Amino acid sequence: MSVIILGIESSCDDTSAAVIKDGVLLSNVIASQAVHESYGGVVPELASRAHQQNIIPVVHEAIKRAGIDKSELSAIAFTRGPGLMGSLLVGTSFAKGLALSLDIPMVDVNHLKAHVLAHFIKENEADENQPNFPFLCLLVSGGNSQIIVVRSYDDMEVVGQTIDDAAGEAFDKCAKVMGLGYPGGPVVNRLANEGDPKAFKFSKPHIPGYNYSFSGLKTSFLYTLRDHLKEDADFIEKNKKDLCASLQATVIDILMDKLRKAAKDLQIKEVAVAGGVSANSGLRDAFQDHATRYGWKIHIPSFAFTTDNAAMVAITGYYKYLNKEFCAMDAAPFSRVTVAVTK
Ligand code: KG4
């Protein structure tokens, strides 16, 4: 009998629902919340209110687009954390209500693991591009920069992570001081495509192992602006493209240096990238370049699966369902996890 999973994602500012049948994606609906743009960042209270408004139409649309009836669902997978508590509560409570009314099990999903397992979503029956275990995954988003050894669907080990800011934060904070709006990552990427990556030099961290640090880069970026603005008040406007290109190139160098070291030391040549920053075209090019130069087999997600989406929740739920890993009705969401990727 087929296994049909409804996935629900509501950890931050995207309300999403998706349906996966035997590992193949049938639908993935995302309602993004524009309300935060004018605040320069996500406002938690507004996010939970928007989730409340979006959740019913989004789930309804996902089921409709999948061409199934909700009575055919095998289980409901939902993001339990990490994320914003008010946002998580909306998805968790909705999943509980629907699971109870349909008398089907619930599967709780770790949001970070879901980003990694997004690589296993089959976009159609013939899609055979899934990674082989073990592989390395560079998880880069607004809140995380991690190198993860993925040994199976539920065996993941974080071997390196940021000790301060995440890569996405570095993009967003530097974009903010240039007045580029929020989230800054996509804007930096767009401007970087027209700039010179060697125009400015920013400091890179010197820390041992596979850990990352981006706070030094942020400070070095700020000091560069401060020094030049003393001489020329229009410095940012005149050099925006080169500043973005140089910033992007430095972030990518920092990310790839440690990833290359981990791949070499651990002798793993299959390497994936996941999370919001994996939408960055420079980072995607760097992966392609490493595939050619070092013989890596690379996995770059479709754009739809880079930012928060329920398809990745549904696929994670699918594999947990096959293992009969269900969760109880009293499962509470968690905003943080001590080990970023838990078993
Ligand atoms: O995974 P994600 O959607 O959620 C959070 O972690 O919140 O990642 C969002 C992050 C933001 O920092 C955003 O600026 C960054 O991903 N991002 C990008 C690009 N697209 C999104 N950073 C650089 N280049 C991009 N094209």
Same fold, 4-123+305-322 and 135-301: yes
Class of domain 4-123+305-322: alpha beta
Measured CA to CA, the distance from residue 216 to residue 193 in angstroms comes to 24
pLDDT in tens, 5-26: 999 999 998 999 999 999 999 9
Q: Which atom of ligand 1 is nearest to the CA of 115?
A: 1
pLDDT in tens, 75-86: 999 999 999 999
SS3 188: helix
The residues near 141 (Cβ < 8 Å, ≥ 6 apart) are: 115, 166, 167, 168, 275, 276, 277
CA distances from 163 to 87, 143, 173 (A): 26, 12, 17
Q: What is the pTM of this model?
A: 0.94
Residue 337: what pLDDT?
67
Structural domain spans, the chain: 4-123+305-322, 135-301
Average predicted confidence (pLDDT) for the chain: 95
CATH fold group of domain 135-301: Nucleotidyltransferase; domain 5 (3.30.420)
Q: Which atom of ligand 1 is nearest to the CA of 190?
A: 26
Q: Is pLDDT above 80 for 40?
A: no
Q: Is pLDDT above 90 for 33?
A: no
Query: How confident is the model over 189-199, as a mean pLDDT?
Result: 98
pLDDT in tens, 109-145: 999 999 999 999 999 999 998 999 999 999 999 888 9
Residue 209's region, left for phi above 0, alpha for psi from -120 to 50, else beta, is left
Write down the H helix ranges in the chain: 44-66, 85-102, 111-117, 167-177, 184-192, 215-231, 235-266, 281-294, 311-322
For atom 2 of ligand 1, the residue with the nearest CA is 276
Q: Nearest-CA neighbor of 28 among 113, 102, 96, 123?
A: 123
227 Cα–ligand 1 center, Å: 28
